Amino acid sequence: MEQFQTASSTSPIDDYMSDPLLDRQAHPPAPQEKSHSFDRLFLKRLGRLLRLLFKGTDGSILKSSILLPYSIFLLLSCAVEVIVWFVGLIPSRFYAVLGSLDVEGYWKVLFQSLGFVFLVAVGKSLQTFSSKVLALQIRRILTEHIQACYIKPKTIYRVLLFHEDIDNPDQRITQDIDRFAEAARDIVEPLVITPALIVYYTWKCWDVGGYLGPLFIYMYFVVGSVISSYLIKPIVELVFRKESCEGDFRYLHVRLREYAESVAFSRGEKEEQIRADKSLDTLLGAQRKVINRELPLEAVKQIHSYFGSILSYIIISIPILAGKYDTSDPSKISEIISKNTFISMYLLWKFSSIIEQATKLSDLAGYTARISELFEAINVIDNDLENVEIDYPYQDGSPESEPFIAFDKVTITSPSKKTLISDFTARFYTGNHVLISGPNGSGKSSMLRVMAGLWPCAKGHIQLPSNHGQKNMYFLPQSSYLTFGSLRDQITYPNLASNTEISDEEIRSLLKKTRLSHVEDLVDSFDTPYGNEWYKMLSPGEQQRLAFCRAFYWKPTFLIMDEATSAIDENTQSHLLKLVHESGSTMICVSHNSSTRDLFDTFVTFNGNGECRVSHSQDIDINDDALDKAVLRDPWSLSDE
Ligand X SMILES: Nc1ncnc2c1ncn2[C@@H]1O[C@H](COP(=O)(O)OP(=O)(O)OP(=O)(O)O)[C@@H](O)[C@H]1O
Interface residues toward ligand X, by CB under 6 A: 161, 414-416, 418, 420, 438, 440-446
Nearer to ligand X, 325 or 603 (CB): 603
Bridge partners (DSSP) listed for residue 412 = 421
To the nearest whole angstrom, how small is the minimum distance from the Cβ of residue 601 to ligand X? 21
Tell me the CA end-to-end span of the chain in Å, nearest whole number.
Answer: 20
- Of 503 and 607, nearer to ligand X (C-beta) is 607
Q: Which of 429, 433, 409, 430 is nearest to 602 (CA)?
A: 433
Q: At what angle do helices 212-258 and 330-385 cross, to 10 degrees?
A: 40
At closest approach, how far in Å is the CB of 565 from ligand X? 13
CA torsion through residues 36, 37, 43, 46, sign: positive
Question: Is residue 492 packed enough to be buried (19+ CB in 10 Å), middle (13-18) or exposed (0-12)?
Answer: buried
Strand partners, 613: 605
| Pairing of the two strands 558-562 and 586-590 | parallel
Q: Residue 414, Cα to own-chain centre: how many angstroms?
A: 27
Pairing between strand 586-590 and 390-392?
unpaired
Angle at 309 (CA atoms; ends 306, 313), nearest 5 degrees:
145
Tell me how far apart the alpha carbons of residues 288 and 495 are, in angstroms, rounded to a whole number.
Answer: 47
CB of 415 to ligand X, least distance (A): 4
In the complex, what is the shortest distance from the CB of residue 446 to ligand X, in angstroms, rounded to a whole number? 3
Q: How far is CA 57 from CA 3, 14, 181, 209, in A?
A: 26, 11, 17, 50
Q: CA-to-CA distance for 636 and 641, rounded, in angstroms?
A: 12
Is the CB of 35 or the CB of 607 nearer to ligand X? Answer: 607
Specify whether the CB–CB gap between 82 and 50 falls below 8 A.
Answer: no
CB of 456 to ligand X, least distance (A): 13
Name the residue nearer to ligand X (CB basis): 347 or 559. 559
Provide the minimum distance between the beta carbon of 440 and ligand X in the complex, in angstroms, as a whole number.
Answer: 3
Residues 6+ apart with CB under 8 A from 264: none
Nearest by Cα to 196 from 77, 315, 116, 70: 77
Shortest gap between Cβ of 414 and ligand X (angstroms)?
A: 4
Amino acid letter for position 15: D
Of 340 and 446, the one with the shorter C-beta distance to ligand X is: 446
CB of 606 to ligand X, least distance (A): 6
Cβ closer to ligand X: 9 or 440?
440
Q: How far is the CB of 450 from ligand X (least distance, A)?
A: 10
User: Residue 123 or residue 443: which is nearer to ligand X going by CB?
Assistant: 443
In sign, the C-alpha dihedral spanning 141, 142, 148, 151 is negative
> What is the C-alpha separation between 565 and 547, in angstroms, rounded?
10
Task: For the CB of residue 155, give the shortest distance to ligand X in the complex, in Å.
Answer: 15
Please report how close the Cβ of residue 550 comes to ligand X at its closest, in angstroms. 21
Distances (CA, A) of 78 to 72, 384, 424: 10, 48, 70
CB nearer to ligand X: pick between 161 and 219: 161
Write down how long the chain is: 641
Closer CB to ligand X, residue 418 or residue 613?
418
DSSP 8-state symbol, 7: P
Cβ nearer to ligand X, comparing 379 with 442: 442
Q: Which is nearer to ligand X, 253 or 418 (CB)?
A: 418
